[in-house]
Structure formats: structure tokens, C-alpha cells
Amino acid sequence: MIKKRILCYGDSNTYGYIAAGNGRRYGENIRWPQRLQKLLGDDFTVIEEGLPGRTAAEATADEPWKNGNSVLRAVLSTHRPLDMVIIMLGTNDLKTGFERSAEEITASVRLIAEDTLSFLEMKQNYTPQILLIAPSPLSEAVLRDPGWDFDAVSVAVSKQLASMYEKTASEMNLMFLDAGKYARPSDDDGIHLDPPSHKKLAEAVYETIRDWQPESSLPHMQFLEE
């Protein structure tokens, strides 16, 4: 049986970072990509590609590998063939040090979607479906800890992303989901999803893609199975 392969490309909320957890990560039974795997069943392989601190297009000088655009092609090449790519980025671009507007963040996410389509068309001879997810907005709780490098402007801009992502998805004929309608950040830090939100997000993604079928899967690009 040839399984449909889904890549989840995101940041700490795809990784499963625990708010106030001193860098620890939720187990596989909690993280939303693994919950999605269970909901979809054995006909699918869900691949987690979540990195804490990953941005859509920014990085500090000491952590250039957290720029989600610059490492995109390496990630896609590692995991292809891919039938779907789920993109949920933008939260870390809100940090005050980057000074990015909602329009600029959306443009960077759009570029990731465009490059995903063009690169995989070249490498596997068919394009994957893309699900663009607008991340849940930051809550005011994030302002309690200046170490996160978010301020009131960051919170305000985070609330503008969903409508802009939705417009981009419509223009590019992508699937779209507003995570903020289903999941909210923990009151512990105002950034990271708690277990109930991981569950709700997984269920929302499942409902969004449950009737999807790949447009093309070329046999020579699939794994050889005994």
C-alpha cells in the first residue's frame, strides 16, 4: 500500500513546546501532528518538521538555521515524495527585533508556499496540496515575560495574520485554516498551545483535509515496498 505523505512545516507549536516547561516537549500522544496521524490512520504518514524559533523569513546572526525560507528546500528534499505540505509559520516573525508588519510576514509565508510548489514540481514531477494555517494569535500573557521579545505591537499584528493568510490561500488556490478559531495559547506564556488546543487543532486539520485526494502520485517517485 502506498501511503499519502504529509509534511507539517512549522515552529514550536508544531514541535510541541511546553509553555513554562523549561524547553521540554509534549509526548507523541499530545502533539497535534501525531494526533492527526491517528485520526487519518494507516493510509497516511504524517511527518513532523517543527522547530522552536523557526520564522518564515528572519533569523538572528547566531541562529541562521531558524530561517524557514533558507532551509526549506533541504527539508522538502529530505522528506519527498510529498502529497501535502502543511505550513504554519509567522509567530516568531512577530518578535520585536525583526520589526515586521503583517503584510511582510504574509509575503514571506506566501514565498514559502510558492517555492514549495515550484521546487517539488521540479523534483517529483507533481505538486503537493498545501494547507496554509494561520497561527493562533498571541495573548496578552506574553507581555509578562520580556525574554520572549514580543510586545503589544506583536500581539496586535498577530491578530491581523489570519485574514491576510486566508486571502493569500484564496489567490493561490490553497487550503486554509485559521488555528485561532480552534486553539489558543496557554495562559502560562501566551504563545504555546496547551494539550486541549493541540487536540482541537488536530481535529480541525483532520476535518479540513479528510476528503482530500492527491491529484497525482507517480509510481517511480514512491517508495519501493516489499
Please check whether residue 100 lies inside any domain of the structure.
yes
Residue range 180-207: average pLDDT?
97
Phi, psi at 6, each rounded to 5°:
-120, 125
Inter-CA distances, 87 with 17, 64, 116, 150, 207, Å = 17, 19, 10, 22, 16
Q: Are 209 and 73 in contact (CB under 8 A)?
A: no
Please check whether residue 226 lies inside any domain of the structure.
no
What is the C-alpha separation between 34 and 142, in angstroms, rounded?
26
Q: pLDDT tens-digit profile of 209-219?
A: 999 987 654 44
What is the C-alpha separation between 98 and 96, in angstroms, rounded?
5
Q: Are 91 and 142 in contact (CB under 8 A)?
A: no
The pLDDT value recorded for residue 188 is: 95
The pLDDT value recorded for residue 213 is: 83
The pLDDT value recorded for residue 220 is: 40
Structural domain harbouring 204: 4-216
Residue range 3-18: average pLDDT?
97
The pLDDT value recorded for residue 216 is: 52
What is the C-alpha separation between 130 and 52, in angstroms, rounded?
22
The pLDDT value recorded for residue 224 is: 46
Residue range 49-59: average pLDDT?
95
Please check whether residue 223 lies inside any domain of the structure.
no
Please check whether residue 74 lies inside any domain of the structure.
yes
Please check whether residue 115 lies inside any domain of the structure.
yes
Residue range 161-171: average pLDDT?
98
CB atoms within 10 A of CB 222: 14
Please check whether residue 225 lies inside any domain of the structure.
no
Confidence of residue 165 (pLDDT cuts 50, 70, 90): very high
The pLDDT value recorded for residue 225 is: 47
Residue range 36-55: average pLDDT?
97
Residue range 120-130: average pLDDT?
95
Confidence of residue 59 (pLDDT cuts 50, 70, 90): confident
Confidence of residue 61 (pLDDT cuts 50, 70, 90): confident
Short-list 197, 190, 219, 159, CA closest to 31: 197
The pLDDT value recorded for residue 192 is: 98
Q: What CATH number does the domain containing 196 carry?
A: 3.40.50.1110
- Total number of domains constituting the chain: 1
The yes-or-no verdict on residue 93 having pLDDT over 60 is yes
Residue range 173-184: average pLDDT?
98
Residue range 168-172: average pLDDT?
98
Short-list 59, 88, 85, CA closest to 73: 85
H-helix segments, the chain: 12-15, 32-40, 72-79, 102-124, 152-158, 161-172, 195-209
Sign of CA dihedral 13, 17, 20, 23: negative
What is the C-alpha separation between 17 and 8, in angstroms, rounded?
15
Please check whether residue 212 lies inside any domain of the structure.
yes
pLDDT > 90 in the chain, percent: 88
Please check whether residue 224 lies inside any domain of the structure.
no
Q: pLDDT tens-digit profile of 134-158?
A: 999 999 999 999 999 999 999 999 9
